[in-house]
Amino acid sequence: MNIKKILLACSILISTGMHAQQTASSAQTEQKINQLLSKMSLEEKVGQMAQYTLDLIGKGGNAYVSDEPFEIDPAMLDTVIGKYKVGSILNTANNRARTTEVWEKVITAIQKRALKETGIPVIYGIDSNHGTTYTAGGTFFPQEIGMAATFNTALMEQGSQVSAYETRASNIPWTFNPTMDLGRDARWSRQWESFGEDAYLNARMAVASVEGFQGANRNHVGRDHIAACVKHYMGYGVPVSGKDRTPAVISETDLREKFFEPFRAAIVEGGALSLMVNSGIINGVSTHADYRLVTKWIKEDLNFDGVIVTDWADVQNLLSRDHIVQDYKGAVKTAINAGIDMVMEPYNLKFCPTLVELVNEGEVPMSRVDDAVRRVLRLKFRLGLFEKPYWSRNEYPQFGSAEHAAIAKAAADESITLLKNQDNVLPIKKGARILVAGPNGNSMRTLNGGWSYSWQGEKTEEFAGQYNTIFEALQNKFGKENVVYEPGVTYKMDGQYFEEIVPEIQKSVAAASGADYIVLCVGENSYCETPGNLDELTLSANQTQLALALQKTGKPVILVLNEGRPRLIRTIEPGAKAVVQVYLPGNYGGDALADILSGDVNPSGKLPYTYPKFEQGLITYDHKPSQNIQGKMEGAYDYGAQTSVQYPFGFGLSYTTFEYSGLSVDKKEFAPGDEITVSVQVKNTGNVAGKEAVMLFSSDLVASLSPDVRRLRAFEKISLNPGETKTITLKLPAKDLAFVNENGKWTLEEGDFKLQVGDKIETVRSTQTKIWDAPNK
């Protein structure tokens, strides 16, 4: 074979055709892929389907640990790239962020070895989850749950653009992000990695993120952009147990209507180039073995031509965890035949020879392998890796810049959500004396959460010393002489995320005597995935006791929630004068909170989930009418079914007030193909400028399947000066009012719908019933 000559011709085609139309560029790429495939051996093809972690090729005692400073082991590189022709590497070494200089050195060496061996560049992947997670000095944004709280898709796109740029500056062209699991169970340890509980909000944020990562042309991802990988397809966020990577039970209607929709939008509308599969089990079927969901729903129904990659070691998990195959060979066969294109192994070198054996035995068709390799090569061409497989970090002078920091700070500002402000205790007046208390008051680790310089976020203090904790930011804002810190409760930083040191509550109570305000910062230490599982959703006993003790001092307590998921606060919320949810706001979260508490920034975040009040009262805003029966039924069985929540989805206060008026629709009656235009006037009736997320909800009043009580259909974030009025126009395609029926078909029925924006309501009517034959509207 002479792959290198073919690649030379391909590079000429790329350089002359890259500015052509997307469709033409794609056709040229297919020609190049066909030429490559025709010359590749089976072993080379299988290598393109394999992905291994960086530690495997690092010098060190074993495959799981590398020596520091990190260096590539030439012998292992020869094994992985030379012998097995592996096409992808991922992750960092020793679970530690690296400088752009180290990334450039490491990835350049990998690429040079790959080009020497096969002429095909490696594609390097990383979790850039709220910034370039594993690069020291990068810009960190709020985690996804905070970005969702902004209800600002433009800000989401900007944030992903910055993350893409800084990930490219690290010589990495592929991120395993955005996370699109619906966060509909407050117990789940990855709630904070989601855009919250609503399918529409998830879809819109995901599309914005994908476009920010990839840019305008998915067939030619430019030098400042990277490929997105939407994850974890799908239903990963609602395990029955509430614990990570455990089985989910989801109705067929919800699976299609709610859980699938964000992935559909990210692929069809956003153009996502890759997808990662859910590690768990849905309705008894391991997702990595589910041909229907992986191949039929994604590849066939959506005409998806990108790469489908496994999650970490999940082919092996079909054997060792799920017990659905007899041996590893059976696991590989099952996953590849289900539609997996690339296996994130990440250590087991038996994958490549095992798949070669399966193909030779006819257990995996060569056509399936060719399809997978075609997708991997297509992704590499789209990223320009054949033309430029590595580059200098000096080509990215805006890495970690002040301009990027300003965008991250703006995102933190808009994410923070004011949930209570009794007697207008906020903003705090200048010159006030403040006690900062609680375990989250002086920690960069808790502000960032997991996926921050390391997987669990435990190394954050080592890398983020130049940023301000809440305590430090408040000192800068109100004066060091006016702000003291006495935590009362602290985390055991070298223990599990939930471990706390023996509390010293009386020290904090004593310090309150000299304060005008108490800023009590509670919540969670950083965690990620399965290590973040919990058995009790209530805020820890120590933190609860601290809050109650400080409330007894009579000083106004401002309760700051710094948490990845909503911990129950019903026993301490009544005694708090104010409640502020900061989620996991990133490195600029302390500064953002200080600006909000001082009034320099007006809070505008809205809850992207329903904040529960009781552990046995977990509910989402789009529940069924039977979950909220008003009053009692008649007769012997006179039960009700009301569920009490702490705060509803979409809730968030401001230092100003907004008045809605003049709600109108252009069509009181509509047909399935129509688009309804909804207009409303919003006025800032307060004394300070503010931002408002204008949301349009619908309610299907009668349907053949019990309808959700309400659904978010559109939103727009606006800014208003005092006294200013704006007319907001929201578009609602009639098909968006459809639901999935018991046969899995999208259905829009004749009947009435209530539309609500703010406190204003209009009723519209569908004049026809339509059932779509296609699986997607």
> Annotated catalytic sites, by residue?
311
Task: Give Cβ neighbours of residue 74 (< 8 Å, ≥ 6 apart).
Answer: none
- Residue 161 to residue 213: CA distance in whole angstroms: 5
User: Per the structure block, which two tokens stand in for 634?
Assistant: 């008649």
Polymer length of the chain: 777
Decide: helix, strand or coil at residue 726.
strand
Question: Which helix (DSSP H) or strand (DSSP E) does residue 516 occupy?
Answer: none
- Residue 640 to residue 636: CA distance in whole angstroms: 12
Contact between 215 and 228 under an 8 Å Cβ cutoff? The reply is no
| DSSP for residue 273 | -
- Residue 380 to residue 51: CA distance in whole angstroms: 14
Count how many Cα atoms sit within 13 Å of the Cα of residue 80 in the half-sphere of its side chain: 29
Distance of CA 529 to the CA centre of its chain: 13
Decide: helix, strand or coil at residue 254.
helix
Q: What is the DSSP string of 84-143?
A: T---EEES-STT--B-HHHHHHHHHHHHHHHHHHTS---EEEE--SSB-TTBTT--BPPP
Contact between 282 and 290 under an 8 Å Cβ cutoff? The reply is yes
Q: Is 6 exposed, middle or buried (0-12, 13-18, 19+ CB in 10 A)?
A: middle
Angle, CA 692 vertex, CA 691 and CA 695 arms, to 5°:
160
- Residue 254 to residue 266: CA distance in whole angstroms: 18
Question: In whole angstroms, how large is the CA radius of gyration of the chain?
Answer: 27
Give the strand pairing for 434-437 and 517-523: parallel
Contact between 702 and 751 under an 8 Å Cβ cutoff? The reply is yes
Contact between 253 and 219 under an 8 Å Cβ cutoff? The reply is no
Question: Which of these, 294, 305, 309, lies nearest to 382 by C-alpha position?
Answer: 305
